[in-house]
Every structure is written in structure tokens, then in C-alpha cells.
Chain A
């Protein structure tokens, strides 16, 4: 079974609008971390935001926020006021603590976001 599921292979959003990228995860570990990364066409992986399983508040970093719904096991990324430079692949990832203090870090298949002018 997939540990990280991103159900939207591709999405379009109008410039200056907000967009939500979906991510659901599966774990029995009570301690885990959730990450979002951006990969532009140039290929580098850029860290965006982190949410710990025990964090009480949703994480925010500038225009990025993580809508964390623990009971639903979802960790959606919200990008406010989209910009043309936001066009990229976006990956959701999870690290479980128990299965490692080994820190196994696994990724979803990604969502390709295209921002329209």
C-alpha cells in the first residue's frame, strides 16, 4: 500500500489565486513528520514546509501553509496568491520516527502545478 498518495497528477491555477495540493498518508507510527518539496523544471528539490505529527498548529511559511488534518491523515499544501514561478512539480513526503530512528523518508508521486497568466 502506498504510504503517500497524491491524487492530482496535474493542476492548473490562475495567477494570483490560491490553490490546494492534496496529500494523504498512511502510518501507524504516532510520531512522524510531513514535508512538501518543490521541483521546478531545472530539477533541483526545494524544501517548502514541515509539519510534525504532534504540532498543534498548522505550519505556515510565507505563501505556503499546510492544512494538517490528523484524523483524516491528510496534509494538503495551500499556496496563496499563485505566481508564475510556482509552476513546478510538488512532492509530499513523510518520515516515520519509529521505523527508524532510521528516518526513512518516502515521497508521493507528485503533482504538476501550472500557473496561468
Chain B
């Protein structure tokens, strides 16, 4: 199994509070991704990174920020959580090209 872990796995937070999700990899892969999964929408890309300090927005980036200060860590921050950000969040890593993306186990975030 690819070395990718997400933390926390579950979180309940209140509206308006900041939340940070962490993705950690031990594969030294260049690309890292954050997705959210909601019923009827599949996986939607929030942000991705193609190197240390190199990130770009995805389809649903509003309300989210990311940081990648080390190859192995990719952080997703909700500056002020809203109920619409209740979702399952997946991190993925990839070496690029024809390489498959490996997924973390997901984080279930509930904003109340």
C-alpha cells in the first residue's frame, strides 16, 4: 500500500472555526491533491500541488487554502468553516505521467 495518511479521520467542528486537515506521504511523490466527495458530485478537486510551495486551484477552491512546505505534507485549511463544507475529504498523491494516484482513507468533516 502507498504510504499516505490523512489526519484526522473524523472531525466535528462549529461554524466559523478554522480547521486544518493534514495529508502525509512517505512516497516522495511530486503531486498531491485535495478532493471533496459529496453525493451526486463525485470527487471534486479543491487544490493541488506540483511541488514544494507550488500549488494551484481546482474546481471548488473557494473557502479553502493549502500549503506545502515539505514534499511529504500537504495541508488543507478551512479558514472559517461553513455547513456547506461538510463533506468527505480525500487526499491523493501521484508521481505524474502515467502513474496512478493513490488515495488516503478520507476525512469525514461535519460542520455544525
Q: Tell me whether B64 is interfacial, beta carbon within 8 Å.
A: no
Per-position 1/0 for A76-117, Cβ under 8 A of B: 000000000000000101010100111111111110000000
Whole-angstrom distance from the CB of B81 to the nearest CB of chain A? 22
The complex places the Cα of A1 from the Cα of B102 at a distance, in Å, of: 26
Main secondary structure on B side of the interface with A: strand
Given contacts A43-B88, A104-B56, A106-B59, contact A91 B50 (CB under 8 A): no
Smallest Cβ-Cβ distance to A54: which chain B residue: B98
Do A45 and B42 have beta carbons less than 8 Å apart?
no
Q: Tell me whether A25 is interfacial, beta carbon within 8 Å.
A: no
Do B97 and A35 have beta carbons less than 8 Å apart?
no
Do B35 and A43 have beta carbons less than 8 Å apart?
no
A110 in complex: contacting residue of B30, B42, B97, B102, CB < 8 Å = B42
The complex places the Cα of A35 from the Cα of B96 at a distance, in Å, of: 12
Do B106 and A43 have beta carbons less than 8 Å apart?
yes
The complex places the Cα of A55 from the Cα of B31 at a distance, in Å, of: 23
Per-position 1/0 for B34-48, Cβ under 8 A of A: 010000111111001
Smallest Cβ-Cβ distance to B100: which chain A residue: A47
B56 in complex: contacting residue of A43, A47, A97, A102, CB < 8 Å = A102
Chain B contact residues, CB within 8 Å of chain A: 30-31, 33, 35, 40-45, 48, 50, 54, 56, 58-59, 88, 90, 92, 94, 96-98, 100-103, 105-106
